[in-house]
């Protein structure tokens, strides 16, 4: 069976003649779903989202309906805020950018529906600082929507008011962590907050209940309203519903962004049937399935995957890397994660020590420096990995590196600790021989590239 894309969110993106202005969007049935949503009651929309089983597309895969359910507008005396997290910064991820740059009104429509559903009257789009054009596009889209009364006062004559503001990020990866984002939006350093007590649903923006959703997640809201939660839940697999935007980069013939039903294709199908195979006919060596912080998976490894059968019993299947379907639960069961959908492919010519040094350099640069293990550990790991990659490692380095990562993961304020430790733990575990050979100085250099010494 040939693998075909299921374009829900990317339906219009890259289609000839499709432009970002509101008139074009309206010609393509734009804001129709908003009008439908405005005829519904907020709690009913929340219920539909719960039924849909939509899981957050930012990285953690937390069920969106459950997140919304934490906020009870009837019990709240404070205003509820919604923030669209458009701080897409995870290396290997470039899906939200496509939506913002090529179909901004789709995102706005989803966001307005989400705000309406949760009785939000003031919302923010926190957009990555580097997306300067994207911020302008969104500003223009907001102005257009306001002019047509899809936003602002008395939306479509329903009496519902909503203002959306674009806030440009401060140029740091940590601004994408939801509580760091909130701090940044409040005008402070993006230091993630401690949880407890600062859960966004309780003590979020300005200490008010706050919903933070990813761009892709909010686009899905529009489609859930269009087709109904139950119909949406039929797309994909149980507990892994809807479509997923996949960003493929690295050593494949056709890197790029694709949209599939969640779990509808395996890693092998993605690489070979969709992306035209590994570059220059070489062999797959390793793959990171969900952005650089996801644990690396090794080609040739056998994965024991436990799945729940429809009758509730557990079943264990053994499969190779290429047979693993790309969905939340299977990737988690395989010891990695679907994360942000950034699939990074490494072929047989790649030096794993160099790849890891590259990732560790990124995380050392992006650690916010607030809490001790991440602040000190991320730079230390960069120093060790770089030295190993440069052939200047010590025999003890592999064990040391693993231990440093172990001392970070699970001990930090935010998930950055895992984000920087997981690649190190997994690379060292899966490619131990390679790292040891490097550390002992017996590795053959695969490329001429040298990393900058630190």
Question: Exactly one of 156, 208, 400, 440 binds other proteins (CB under 8 A); which one?
Answer: 400
Closest by CA to 338, choosing from 147, 15, 106, 95, is: 95
Question: Exactly one of 16, 157, 196, 310 binds other proteins (CB under 8 A); which one?
Answer: 196
Stretch that binds other proteins, among 92-100, 120-128, 290-298, 373-381 (CB under 8 A): 373-381
Query: Does 172 help bind other proteins (rule: CB under 8 A)?
Result: yes
Question: Exactly one of 7, 189, 234, 350 binds other proteins (CB under 8 A); which one?
Answer: 189
Site map 308..347 versus other proteins, x via CB under 8 A: ----------------------------------------
Query: Does 365 help bind other proteins (rule: CB under 8 A)?
Result: yes
Cβ proximity to other proteins, 114 vs 357, nearer residue:
357
**Secondary structure (H, E, C), 413-430:** CCCHHHHHHHHHHHHHHH
Query: Does 379 help bind other proteins (rule: CB under 8 A)?
Result: yes
Q: How far is the CB of 404 from other proteins (least distance, A)?
A: 8
Cβ proximity to other proteins, 257 vs 435, nearer residue:
435
Q: How far is the CB of 413 from other proteins (least distance, A)?
A: 6
Long-range contacts of 130-136 (CB under 8 A, 24+ apart): 130/171, 131/86, 131/88, 131/97, 131/100, 131/101, 131/168, 132/168, 133/101, 134/86, 134/97, 134/100, 134/101, 135/166, 135/168
Cβ proximity to other proteins, 338 vs 371, nearer residue:
371
Number of residues that bind other proteins (CB under 8 A): 35
Instruction: Supply 10's token pair.
Output: 């990317």
Question: Exactly one of 380, 422, 427, 431 binds other proteins (CB under 8 A); which one?
Answer: 380
Stretch that binds other proteins, among 41-49, 285-293, 392-400, 435-443 (CB under 8 A): 392-400
Stretch that binds other proteins, among 124-132, 292-300, 327-335, 393-401 (CB under 8 A): 393-401
**What does the binding site for other proteins look like in residue numbers (CB under 8 A)?**
172, 189, 191, 194, 196-197, 364-373, 375-380, 383-384, 387, 394, 396, 400, 406-407, 410-413, 454
């Amino acid at each position: 069976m040939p693998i075909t894309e299921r374009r829900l969110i990317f339906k219009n993106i890259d289609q000839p003649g499709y432009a970002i202005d509101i008139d074009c969007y309206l010609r393509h049935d734009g804001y129709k779903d908003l009008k439908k949503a405005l005829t519904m009651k907020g709690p009913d929309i929340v219920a539909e989202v719960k039924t849909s089983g939509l899981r957050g597309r930012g990285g953690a895969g937390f069920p969106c309906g459950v997140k919304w359910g934490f906020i009870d507008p009837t019990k709240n005396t404070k205003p509820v805020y919604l923030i669209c997290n458009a701080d897409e910064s995870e290396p290997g991820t470039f899906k939200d950018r496509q939506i913002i740059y090529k179909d901004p009104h789709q995102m706005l429509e989803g966001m307005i529906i989400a705000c309406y559903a949760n009785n939000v009257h003031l919302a923010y789009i926190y957009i990555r600082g580097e997306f300067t054009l994207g911020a302008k596009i969104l500003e223009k889209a907001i102005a257009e929507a306001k002019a047509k009364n899809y936003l602002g006062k008395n939306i479509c004559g329903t009496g519902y008011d909503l203002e959306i503001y674009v806030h440009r990020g401060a140029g740091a990866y940590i601004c994408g962590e939801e509580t760091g984002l909130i701090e940044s939006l409040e005008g402070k350093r993006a230091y993630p907050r401690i949880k407890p007590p600062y859960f966004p649903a309780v003590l979020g923006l300005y200490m008010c209940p706050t919903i933070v959703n990813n761009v892709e997640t909010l686009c899905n809201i529009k489609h859930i309203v269009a087709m109904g939660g139950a119909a949406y839940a039929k797309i994909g697999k149980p507990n892994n519903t809807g479509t997923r935007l996949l960003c493929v980069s690295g050593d494949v013939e056709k890197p790029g962004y694709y949209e599939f039903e969640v779990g509808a294709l395996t890693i092998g199908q993605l690489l070979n049937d969709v992306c035209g195979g590994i570059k220059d006919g070489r062999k797959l060596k390793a793959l990171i399935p969900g952005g650089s912080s996801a644990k690396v998976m090794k080609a040739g490894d056998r994965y024991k995957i436990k799945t729940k059968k429809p009758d509730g019993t557990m079943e264990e299947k053994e499969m190779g890397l290429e047979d693993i379907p790309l969905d939340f639960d299977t990737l988690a069961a395989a010891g990695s994660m679907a994360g942000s959908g950034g699939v990074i492919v490494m072929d047989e010519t790649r030096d794993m020590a160099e790849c890891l040094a590259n990732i560790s350099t990124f995380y050392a640069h992006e650690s916010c420096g607030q809490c001790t293990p991440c602040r000190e550990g991320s730079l230390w790991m960069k120093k060790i990995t770089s030295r190993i990659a440069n052939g200047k490692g010590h025999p003890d380095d592999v064990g040391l590196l693993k231990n440093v990562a172990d001392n970070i993961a699970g001990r930090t304020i935010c998930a950055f600790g895992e984000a920087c430790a997981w690649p190190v733990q997994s690379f060292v575990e899966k490619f131990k021989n390679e790292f040891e050979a490097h550390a002992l100085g017996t590795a053959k250099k695969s490329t001429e590239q040298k990393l900058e010494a630190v």
